[in-house]
Structure 1
Amino acid sequence: MKRIFISLIFMTGLLVTGCSSDDDGTGGGPEIPAVESATVDVESGGPNQPNQVYIDLSTSNTTVVKRDTWELGFYCGSQHRVFLNSAILATAAELPGFTDIDAVNSSTVFESSIPLKGLNAQFQLTEVSVSGVGELIAGLPLSYYMYGDLDNGISFTDTKEGEPGGTAIAEISTTASDNNVYIISAGSTIPTETPDAGDILTTGEHRGFYKVRILADGEDYILQYAALDANDHEEVVISKDDSYNLKAFSLVEGSEVSVEPAKADWDINFTSVYSYYGNMGGLVAGAAYSDYALHNTLGNVGLYTVITKETTDGESVETGEPSFEAFTKADIRESEFVYDDRAIIGSDWRQTASFGGSAQVKDDRYFVVKDASGNYYKLQFTAFLNASGARGYPQFKYELLDE
């Protein structure tokens, strides 16, 4: 695949991977000019796509994190919210009326059955009645056949847009008795087998079920957690740090882990895998996408798409929008920046070899980014596969839009 390279201007500096207020970028040092242009080879890690990669456009710094190192992300904003790691297909189901975490296990029976919906073998939406935890966890792991009910607002994943109000775990109440126990499906392992060239293999064995109960104490979270069938639980305090969007926690390891850089220090997250439950082309189900990119909406980064060509009656027709090369700061439409949907790029920058097509970058679009410091960039993907035809080697170029 032909790769397009523009001038590389890389800044040398620390990659911020911890939740420390010392690295919030608000110090009194001299202002560093934003990188004017760069090409980024995203370190997704190949067809198993093991990595999440955070990219700061102003410096070209990248932070690479294994995507299976965490399950829960504790929001450092004004609300008490807990996000799920969609890159490993993590899900969460509330158990209404259950506030004693040690009293819950896989044999727990509900006072009343919970009506849900799921897909049958013919991909038809059918009614499901769940009478206990053992039946619930059969449809909790993310898949096409997972349980939910969008008509009644029941989803066991965070919403696609990634806003605080769309978390599967309800806002944590300051009234302890209002906070119920949740069952967490810890998602899937990262496979190590190498698929055929052009294919991907991103979902491995299930990582198990946990139970959690989360309380609020001032600006702190109190997390109670245990394996689903454990007789007692661990408890840990997680404190907010407003320099960060989230503080990540690993239920598997029982500890906080460093994942996101400070919120001012990244703009694009190439999360590799992204999952959610929703309506996709008329099919209500859970689905996982690969080669997926997000932008930092929680950190006040805006982004929109420019489409330069459309297909009409089988023919490619110019839209009248400027090409990537011709686009200047004067062409920016401020009202089009999206700050409340992190999945605008998503997988829309590439097409796969499904249905007789070819795996390649879409050349009919690019993206305009405004970072939290007010810098504007144009960004275009330039590679989808490596020289051997393997997926998991994305590349993009970008330029700072000056006056």
Structure 2
Amino acid sequence: MNKNNILIICCCVVFAFAGCKKDSVDYRYPQPYAGQLATLPGVAGTELGINAANSVFVDFSKGVVTPVRRANWDLGLYPGADFKVILNHTMGALAFDTKKTDFAKVLQADSIAIAASLQLNAAGSGLLVDPVTGTPTDYLAKLVTLEVGENEDASKIYIINSGYAGVPPFTNAIPATPTTPAIPSIPLKRPWYKVKVYKGNNGYVVKYASMSNDNPAFTPRTVNKDLSYNFNVFSFTNLSAVGEPAKSLWDIEWTWTTSKNADGTIATATHDFVLINFLGGVTAAEVKIVDQAAKEYENFNKDKLAGLTYLNTREAIGVKWRSLTSDDRPIVNRDRFYVVKDAEGNVYKLRFVSSSNADGGVIGTPVIEYRLVDAAITPGNTQ
């Protein structure tokens, strides 16, 4: 067989294989989690459920529930183009601007002078906490409780009450029962600090000292911006502080938080608050149930998504999902549910099942149900 014949045979084989090539490729995309009935573990130890020590994050598309101690962090440093700082709203933290720049000139006497006003429920305290509502743009614009200086000399020192975790400064012992653990009679007040924050080379510099003495010494720490998170958390006591998960790894957060009264002048405590990951691209719509017997939640599907109004506000769910009894126990409002669209475009329906012994549940460990309504990517043939 000569070289020309071999060449002809090879060409025929190539064309034969080419003729067998499929006209389309079947791509298989990983599908989002279908949903579940999930208990949110707010209670971390022996605390009462009304003061649950955990914030609980839920990632719908991955089926992951993540509890995080509320007391783990003190400040949140915004990693975006702007320089913004948040106080730990889940601990009821407040900040007072001393107008001073020298640590040696901020003394214990300064904190004693404002002790009564740097507290939740005090007159004017609404001006000493961060905003609790709004769209991302509006929320970030109003983060001025603790301003970031251009440099060390220009940055002002703030006195920070780092919070009580939602409980009084002292708690009297309560005898244990099968359903109520004993509450220790110990002080629960967290330390106060004097703090300044200013711009660094790749992020922030935080300088701080305890208000427990008049020593002018301070501790400096640098925090680089990490865009994986909505805020890079900072703790006065822990170098490896853990706060909310990366912004791509959660959709809603159930937690205790600060709120404000109607005119915004008084900061108050709110438990069982549900935030959406509004800075991470999550939106939510509320659906009112007209006919309970019609099983509107169960029968809700993607054909019924048209006409919904999605909100990208922090309080899109908030406390609208529950009411309170006369003794402050949450009760699920069963006349509504929520449709949540995650940052990838997956759409879930969400309802609250129970939240305290007033509605068949356990306070501090609410139960939710969420189900996939419409996936962002559907497997199929692509030409």
TM-score by length of 2: 0.76
Equivalences for 1:324-343 in 2 at 5 Å?
324-332=297-305, 336-339=309-312, 341-343=313-315
Counterpart of 1:4?
none
Counterpart of 1:27?
none
- Deviation at residue 304 of structure 1 after TM alignment: 2.0
Are 2:56 and 1:53 aligned?
yes
Q: What is the rounded CA distance, in whole Å, between the counterparts of 2:234 and 2:156 in structure 1?
A: 19
Are the structure 2 counterparts of residues 358 and 84 from structure 1 closer, same or farther at C-alpha, using a change threshold of 3 Å? closer
Counterpart of 1:137?
115
Which residue identity does 1:55 align to in structure 2? V
Counterpart of 2:156?
180
Which residue identity does 1:371 align to in structure 2? D
Counterpart of 1:266?
250
Are 2:209 and 1:220 aligned?
no
Counterpart of 1:117?
none
Are the structure 2 counterparts of residues 61 and 172 from structure 1 closer, same or farther at C-alpha, using a change threshold of 3 Å? same
Which residue identity does 2:367 align to in structure 1? Q
Q: What is the rounded CA distance, in whole Å, between the counterparts of 1:283 and 1:265 in structure 2?
A: 32
- Larger CA Rg, structure 1 vs 2: 2
- Deviation at residue 164 of structure 1 after TM alignment: 2.0
Which residue identity does 1:134 align to in structure 2? I
Q: What is the rounded CA distance, in whole Å, between the counterparts of 1:290 and 1:101 in structure 2?
A: 35
Counterpart of 1:376?
347
Stretches of structure 2 that go unaligned for 5 or more consecutive residues are 1-27, 376-383
May I ask how many residue pairs the two structures share in their alignment? 328
Deviates more, 1:291-300 or 1:158-167: 158-167
- Deviation at residue 78 of structure 1 after TM alignment: 1.9
- Deviation at residue 376 of structure 1 after TM alignment: 0.8
Stretches of structure 1 that go unaligned for 5 or more consecutive residues are 1-29, 109-132, 310-317
Are the structure 2 counterparts of residues 167 and 99 from structure 1 closer, same or farther at C-alpha, using a change threshold of 3 Å? same
Q: SS at 2:232's partner residue?
A: strand
TM-score by length of 1: 0.73
- Deviation at residue 176 of structure 1 after TM alignment: 4.3
Are the structure 2 counterparts of residues 198 and 331 from structure 1 closer, same or farther at C-alpha, using a change threshold of 3 Å? farther
- Deviation at residue 65 of structure 1 after TM alignment: 1.2
Normalized per residue, the structure richer in strand is 1
Are 2:251 and 1:287 aligned?
no
Counterpart of 1:209?
192
Q: What is the rounded CA distance, in whole Å, between the counterparts of 1:336 and 1:95 in structure 2?
A: 43
Are the structure 2 counterparts of residues 68 and 308 from structure 1 closer, same or farther at C-alpha, using a change threshold of 3 Å? same
- Deviation at residue 180 of structure 1 after TM alignment: 0.9
Are the structure 2 counterparts of residues 290 and 237 from structure 1 closer, same or farther at C-alpha, using a change threshold of 3 Å? same
- Deviation at residue 375 of structure 1 after TM alignment: 0.7
- 1:83-138 CA distances to partner (integer Å, 9 max, x unpaired)? 11111111111222x11123211224xxxxxxxxxxxxxxxxxxxxxxxx432232
- Deviation at residue 63 of structure 1 after TM alignment: 1.6
- Deviation at residue 300 of structure 1 after TM alignment: 1.0
- Deviation at residue 173 of structure 1 after TM alignment: 3.8
Q: Is the 8 A contact 1:81 1:169 kept in 2?
A: no
Are 2:50 and 1:68 aligned?
no
Which residue identity does 1:104 align to in structure 2? V
Q: SS at 1:393's partner residue?
A: coil
- Deviation at residue 31 of structure 1 after TM alignment: 5.0
Are the structure 2 counterparts of residues 266 and 31 from structure 1 closer, same or farther at C-alpha, using a change threshold of 3 Å? farther
Q: SS at 2:72's partner residue?
A: coil
Give % identity.
Answer: 29
- 1:377-401 CA distances to partner (integer Å, 9 max, x unpaired)? 1100011126986411201111111
Q: What is the rounded CA distance, in whole Å, between the counterparts of 2:166 and 2:102 in structure 1?
A: 33
Which residue identity does 2:193 align to in structure 1? Y
Equivalences for 1:185-196 in 2 at 5 Å?
185-189=161-165
Q: SS at 1:231's partner residue?
A: coil
Are 2:76 and 1:91 aligned?
no
Q: SS at 2:119's partner residue?
A: coil
